[in-house]
Amino acid sequence: MARIGLFDLIEPKEWKFPTHGDVVEAKRRAQRYLSDHGTMEGAEFQIEEFVRQWAIERLISGYGYPEEWLGERVIIEEPVKMGSSEKQADISIKNSTGRTFLYIEAKSRGTTEAEFKEAERQLETYLASTHTATIGMITDGDRVKVLRKKIDPNDFEYITDLPSYGLETKYKAQLVRELPPEGTGRKTGLQVLNEDYERVLFDCHSAARDVDGLHSDEALDEICKVIYTKIYDERQTTKKEEGAAFRFQTFGASNASELASNIRELYEEARNSDIEIYSKRIPDYERSRGVFKTQIRLSDAALFRVVERIQEFSLIDSGTDVKGRAFQNILGPAIRAGMGQYFTPDPIVKLAIGAVEPKADDLILDPFCGSGHFLTTALQHVVANQAASLSDRDLSEFKFFHLHGIEKSDRMVRIAMTDMMLHDDGHTNIRNQDALLSFDNYPDIIALRDDGRQDPAVFDIIVTNPPFGSIMRQETMSMLGRFELGYKKKSLPLEIIGLERSIQFLKPGGRIAIVLPEHIMKGKSTSFVRKWLPGIVKTKGIFFFPEEAFTPYGAMVKTCLCIFQKLKEGEEPKPDESVFLCEVENLGYEATGKPKSGSEVDDAIGEFRKEVSWK
């Protein structure tokens, strides 16, 4: 039975909010009822306020909410905006910043089943329209129903009761910014992740998955939103004086629902801040980057568990290596759960980056970036090989302005952005778009030019693994950008269009590493591709992989890594130029994904660098 208990008639002289207009009017009606009947008994069947006042009293005496919250955080007739209309909720309970996290709707006793059902629908509307509110109660004094908003904000389930006041938490102290000793480089004073705590993100992912019954990829998506929120809070708090309290914490919340409302509000603030800041410098930023518009879909209980686990650790002070490994701990299960088509194995990514050798002054793009693995590896490569010789400003400029990605799936863009943030940023340059559309869709890429031309060929390096297997029909290709390889073709594999589009983004003299099905470089049916390539690029090298290269990630096609350099303006093809060819038989893992000793990747990179010049 719900803690609200059985209905008890409260005399009007004891009602809360005695000066509120609706309460004053209800008192007048109650007095008239007393005059007509000589008793207040039965008045609750005609006057709804009796039921609301009973519910308010039980919030205090039964659920433990502080009486001093009345009028401040427990409100009656709270306006709820729903599109162009506005209604008033009977009772609203607010978090510490004034955002509702719980609604109660009261009906007079004896209301019909149809009227009660209509009130329930009204409560659902309130919850659906309010990001921070997830739980509500509807009661007529006899019937009590408690609703919880499910993962889909328009879907609800019944639960046994409202959350009571009072939160049992492992972390009793308030988390505030504490300046550590000089020279540590830390800004927050929070604990840093190290090898002992690498599983923190994995624990968060497990909590989200287990509490809410999510698939691994769904749980990963939600954890990305939480990480995004926490990084925002840390960055905002480090702008304040020592002793400033973090908002991303369980301390001070009355229960899991209030804590969840605090985090949802903080998330909303983070995404609005992102859009406000970056829209000023990146054309059409909100349309192409606004992937964090999607609400946090975790339940209050799951979100509480996640926050409690991660709150004491800093995501901006921790080293990028340990953060990268921690994120891979949750990315791995999601890949095995069905996201393999978005993933390129580490050794192949390492080989691609090792071959093109990115520098801090290079503009780099992955037009089919998936989880952003090529970009984070390029970032790691530059930091490892150039950081010592770069100023802080130059390194920051590379991280924030030189790493770019395009990805069609909004979920994958959130994952890629999160991974980039954990590598100390670059997330603002990941676009949620289709890389094959007309170049009119990329005004921000055109804006990277400084010569006024409307040519998207601005990148020094392209590293990518375009999708394999899909066949593009002529009617579909006609809706995309113009492709020379599609001329007079009734259909074309997506990877061939992806190859041409990748080269279109590359500036003259630029270099590209692209994963392709092996048959493109060997098969008879794709000879037209090989005839087209020499007029556009020089083939610098091809690394051929064993059939099991992509087997752990759900693909059975033989692949190769092609290294090209785009011809410079006025440069003529040289048909007799040598091409570095290499069979990489051991990538360091078996067909099952299990590690395998004797990887040939480092040797392959070394041999390529000995024989190939980028001049």
Cβ(577)–Cβ(538) under 8 Å? Answer: yes
Question: Residue 178: is its pLDDT beyond 90?
Answer: no
List, in sequence order, every residue forming a beta bridge with 563; answer none if it has no partner: 513, 541
Question: What percentage of residues in the chain have a pLDDT greater than 70?
Answer: 93
Residue 450: CA atoms inside 13 Å, Cβ hemisphere, count?
A: 1
First to last CA, the chain: 78
CATH topology of domain 12-159: tt1808, chain A (3.90.1570)
Residue 585 confidence (pLDDT): 93
Q: Does domain 343-611 have CATH number 3.40.50.150?
A: yes
Question: Residue 183: is its pLDDT beyond 60?
Answer: no
Closest among 614, 601, 495 to 563, alpha carbons compared: 614
* pTM to 2 decimal places: 0.86
For the chain, what is the largest distance between any 2 Cα atoms, rounded to a whole number of angstroms?
A: 110
Percent of the chain as helix, strand, coil, to the nearest 5: 45, 15, 40
Residue 184 confidence (pLDDT): 58
Alpha helices in 182-319 (DSSP H): 200-212, 216-237, 256-278, 285-289, 300-310
Residue type at position 455: D
Cβ(387)–Cβ(395) under 8 Å? Answer: yes
Question: Residue 506: is its pLDDT beyond 60?
Answer: yes
Each residue of 543-582: pLDDT tens digit? Answer: 999 988 888 776 778 999 999 999 998 888 887 889 999 9
Residue 477 confidence (pLDDT): 62
| Phi, then psi, of 325 in degrees rounded to 5 | -65, -40
Closest among 435, 465, 461, 494 to 344, alpha carbons compared: 465
Joined tokens for residue 176:
């505030």
List, in sequence order, every residue forming a beta bridge with 106; answer none if it has no partner: 139
Residue 339 confidence (pLDDT): 58
Identify the DSSP state of 469: S
Residues near 407 by Cβ (< 8 Å), separated by ≥ 6?
368, 369, 370, 372, 413, 416, 430, 431, 432, 433, 435
* pLDDT (mean) for 512-534: 93
Residues near 99 by Cβ (< 8 Å), separated by ≥ 6?
130, 132, 133, 261, 265
Angle 103-106-111 (CA atoms, 0-180°, nearest 5)?
A: 145
Strand duo 364-366 + 403-407: pairing: parallel
Cβ(366)–Cβ(374) under 8 Å? Answer: yes
* pLDDT (mean) for 122-150: 93
Question: Residue 152: is its pLDDT beyond 70?
Answer: no
Residue 288 confidence (pLDDT): 65
Identify the DSSP state of 170: S
The string over 243-271, giving b where at least 16 C-beta atoms fall within 10 Å of a residue's C-beta and e elsewhere, is eeebbbbbbebbbbbbbbbbbbbbbbbbb
* pLDDT (mean) for 15-23: 96
Lowest mean pLDDT among 114-123, 154-163, 487-496, 528-537: 487-496
Gap between the Cα atoms of 418 and 220, Å rounded: 10
Per the prediction, the chain carries an average pLDDT of: 89
User: Per-residue confidence at 151, pLDDT binned at 50, 70, 90?
Assistant: low
Angle 80-81-86 (CA atoms, 0-180°, nearest 5)?
A: 85
Lowest mean pLDDT among 83-87, 256-260, 279-283: 279-283
List, in sequence order, every residue forming a beta bridge with 341; answer none if it has no partner: none
Closest among 520, 194, 495 to 368, alpha carbons compared: 495
